[in-house]
Structures are given as structure tokens and as C-alpha cells.
Amino acid sequence: MSEATTTMDVDAGTRAKRAATGGEERTVVASRVAAICDMIEHHREAGKPLTSSQVATISSMIDDVAGTKAPPPRTGRRSSKKKRCMISVGSYEDEGVVGEGRFGVVFRARHRGTGQDAAVKSYRSDYDDSIKDDGTRMLLREACFMAACGAHPSVVGFHAVACNPWSSNNGGYSLVMEYVGPSNLGQVLDDREGRPLPEAEARRMMRQLLDGAAAMHQHGIVHRDIKPGNILVVADNNVKIGDLGLAKSMHEKAAPFFMAGTRGYMAPEMLLWTEDHDAAVDAWSLGCVMAELVTGKMLPFEGKDEMDQLYKIFDVVGVPGKRAWRAMKPHEDLDDDVQQWRARQRRLGHRNRLREMVPEEVLSRDGFEVLKGLLTTDPKKRLTAADALRCPWFANNSNDDVVDTPVADTAASRFQGQQVVVTGLADRHVIRWACARIS
């Protein structure tokens, strides 16, 4: 076994301990999710498209995850024998497109029989070539992650995987989920044209987002693409985390992308392509979202490529110390540059400049403690979502539920943002990547 593999195994153990803290029920969910991901990956490795019978079996297992309340019976007969019929999107009345992203088109829909409101996501067939054949697998993964935590009030709820004879995505399947509207947070922030949210309102949203993220992490799921465009806003200003399409399970053998997300919200270790990144990447992204809520604009971290972005981050929060730098498992080519930069910052007496960007007028001392904790470069020292919720900013302000001014006053829902996906090729210097701005 190679040294790298051994290190990954040790880290996986640490992560598992960190992630699986939710007791018996959550451990069952986490291992079922990993088993489903491994099964999907196994089919991918076999290099053949999934048959309709395999999709039906996997979607039935996903239904089981959604309904998991207790460990499965020990006979092992349950999932192998039971196969439910898949529903069809034909059972839903199409009420028009409500959003589009790099991978998916989302329709609002109403169930013809029950009248239940829903959103139906179909993966597009025109996305990046490197993932072209993976539409059905990506859809099943997203469904599985959503099923695992969709019952949480701050995560979009899962309804079903449905056959979609009209969808051109290889195989023709769609994800039916809870409709959450009228907007996404990216749209809300755009409409506010740089006006910051009042601190109490930002805290209310952050409480919900951190709570949703903590629930995901308890199930061993890392979202990897938390950003305003993937946060849905309900009319009464409640928020829900959506788009779990790039998520991974901490317990699956090999996630399909070793690096994924949106550059402006990527944690330093993700920018350094640390393959075994964990839930800490979501905490960083939530820190970026929090800063955007209270200042009305993105942190000035957005670089023209991964390294530029990383340097912009270090310019604000400081170059990490040697131990923290090593913890991010960077490529050794970068060591000299970073060492010189660290020495220069030391000489000039560089201090963390985050407070200049997020001053006390927009964020109190308690709030800043949370922000600084989330935007800590060392992933091992970064505040976890669950720990952030225990900070005084939240603990001393439990009456945030009263909303005076609605922030989501638009009925339009349109995708905004920049998404980057890097495919999982072995050589970190030979990658193909896709980067698109869609408006």
C-alpha cells in the first residue's frame, strides 16, 4: 500500500469520527448512502450505461434511505426482493421552468392526482463532454444525498426519482423534489444591488444554513457547492440548501470528482486539489456566504484561476503557518513560493485583514467570531457547522424568527453564478475543467 493511500485511510478514520456523531439512525443512513454511491460507481467503472432495471433497484434503495428510521432487518431480504414501480413525470403537470444551472433544468410541477406542488430537475444533455455519459448517475447520486437529509427543514426535500420519457438525458430520468421558491439567494442578493442584510436577518439565515449543513455532515455528506445560487429562499425568508449534485459521501470508496465546486466559494484545501477534503470545505463556503449577506458583496477572493484565488485569500487572512500548510497537502512545487511569502508577511507584520472587509458597523463582535472561525485557512482548526451554532452569536439571540422586511420580494427565479467542475483524472497537472457563467 502506498504512503498516500495509508495517509488517506487514517484521515478517513478521523473524518468518519468527526462526521458520524449522530447516533444509530444517522450511522445507518450514512452507510446506506455510501453503499448506494459505491454501487453507482461500480457500474460506472464497468463502462456500461445503467439498465432501467438497475436504475429501478437503486431508486428503490434511495426510497429506503428517505424512509430510514431503523436499521434494516438482519435477514437481508428487504432490499434485494422488494422493487417498487418508479413514478413517471407524466403524473405531473408542467408549470414552467423555474431555474437552470450548469447541469440541470428545473421545472415547477403539480401532481395531477394529489395536486401536490413539486420541482422536477432533469440533467441536460449538453453539458461538459467529460461528464456527458454520467447524467443518470449524477441524478441518482443527487437523489440519494437529498433523500438522506431531505427531511431536514433547511435542506430541499426529496420526493422521488421518476422516469422521464421526454428528457433527452441519457436514459431519461428526473429528480422530483419539494418546490422551494420564489427565489434563490443569488437572485435575492442581485436584486438588493449590494445593500447588506441587517445582521439579525443574516443571523437567521445562517442559523438555518448551518443547521442544514450540520445535518448533512452528520450523515457523512459533504455538499461541496454551497453558494447563493444553490440556496433556495421561501417567501417567508426561510432558506433551504439545494443542488446536492456535486456532493460526496465521506464513506464512499471513490467520489467521481476529486475536486468540485464554485471557485469564489472554494476552501483553500479545495483550491489546492486536496482529494480527501472533508466537511470543512462546506464551513468555508458558508463563511463566504455569511460575509456576502452582511456586506452585500462577495469577498474579494475571486481569482482568475485556483492559485490566484488562493493568493487572494492569503493576502487577506494571512499565509498559513507551516503545519497548517502541510495539513492542506499542497503540491511540493508550491512550498518555496509560500515560504517566501510567509517570510515577507512576517517581515511586514501582516495581520488578518478580514475585519477591514467586514467592519463592526455590519457585523458585531460575536458575529465576527463566527465568520472568522468559518474562514480559518487550516481545515483542522476551522469551525464546524455544528460548533458554529454553539457560538454566543446564535446562543444569545434565539428570537431571530421575527422577520420585519421580506428580502425575497421577486417572483422570478433565475440561475446566476459561476460553477467549476474538475474531473477526476489521476494526474493533478493534467485536468480538464469546465467553467461557465450562465445568465
Ligand X SMILES: Nc1ncnc2c1ncn2[C@@H]1O[C@H](COP(=O)(O)OP(=O)(O)O)[C@@H](O)[C@H]1O
Q: How far is the CB of 382 from ligand X (least distance, A)?
A: 25
Rounded Cα gap, residues 240 and 56, in angstroms: 28
Check residue 216 for interaction with ligand X (CB under 6 A).
no
Rounded Cα gap, residues 64 and 147, in angstroms: 9
Looking at residues 178 to 207 of the shown chain, list those that interact with ligand X (rule: CB under 6 A): 178-181, 184
Q: How far is the CB of 229 from Mg ion (least distance, A)?
A: 5
- Residue 296: all three cell numbers together: 452585500
**Number of neighbouring beta carbons within 10 Å of residue 253:** 10
Q: How far is the CB of 231 from ligand X (least distance, A)?
A: 9
Q: How far is the CB of 407 from ligand X (least distance, A)?
A: 15
Looking at residues 60 to 99 of the shown chain, list those that interact with ligand X (rule: CB under 6 A): 98-99
Interface map 99-128 toward ligand X (x if CB under 6 A): xxxxxx-x------------x-x-------
**Number of neighbouring beta carbons within 10 Å of residue 207:** 20
Rounded Cα gap, residues 132 and 153, in angstroms: 32
Check residue 228 for interaction with Mg ion (CB under 5 A).
no
Q: Which residues are annotated as a binding site for ATP?
A: 121
SS3 21: coil
Number of residues that bind ligand X (CB under 6 A): 25
> By the 8 A CB rule, do 292 and 299 touch?
yes
Residue 64 annotated among the catalytic residues of the structure: no
Check residue 230 for interaction with ligand X (CB under 6 A).
yes
Of positions 243, 252, 292, 306, contacts Mg ion by CB under 5 A? 243
177/319 with CB nearer ligand X: 177
Looking at residues 135 to 174 of the shown chain, list those that interact with ligand X (rule: CB under 6 A): 156
Stretch that binds Mg ion, among 46-54, 114-122, 235-243, 388-396 (CB under 5 A): 235-243
Instruction: Calculate ∠ Cα 427-431-434, nearest 5°.
Output: 155
Rounded Cα gap, residues 176 and 195, in angstroms: 34
The CA–CA distances, whole Å, from 49 to 12, 61, 135, 162, 429 equal 30, 19, 10, 17, 29
Cα torsion through 410, 293, 271, 417, rounded to 10: 20
Of positions 212, 245, 264, 287, contacts ligand X by CB under 6 A? 245
Q: Given phi > 0 = left and psi -120 to 50 = alpha, else beta, which region is 233?
A: beta
119/289 with CB nearer ligand X: 119
Check residue 261 for interaction with Mg ion (CB under 5 A).
no
Q: How far is the CB of 170 from ligand X (least distance, A)?
A: 16
Rounded Cα gap, residues 407 and 342, in angstroms: 42
Stretch that binds ligand X, among 206-214, 241-249, 306-314, 348-356 (CB under 6 A): 241-249
The alpha-carbon radius of gyration of the chain (Å, integer) is 21
137/342 with CB nearer ligand X: 137
Number of residues that bind Mg ion (CB under 5 A): 3
Options 225, 243, 278, 282, the catalytic residue: 225
- Indicate which of Mg ion, ligand X, none lies near residue 99 (CB less than 5 to 8 Å, by partner kind): ligand X
Please report the beta strands in 23-124, taking only residues with DSSP state E, as ranges in sequence order: 87-88, 92-100, 104-111, 117-123
Instruction: Report the interface residues with ligand X, using CB under 6 A.
Output: 98-104, 106, 119, 121, 156, 177-181, 184, 229-230, 232, 242-243, 245, 413, 415
Catalytic site positions: 225
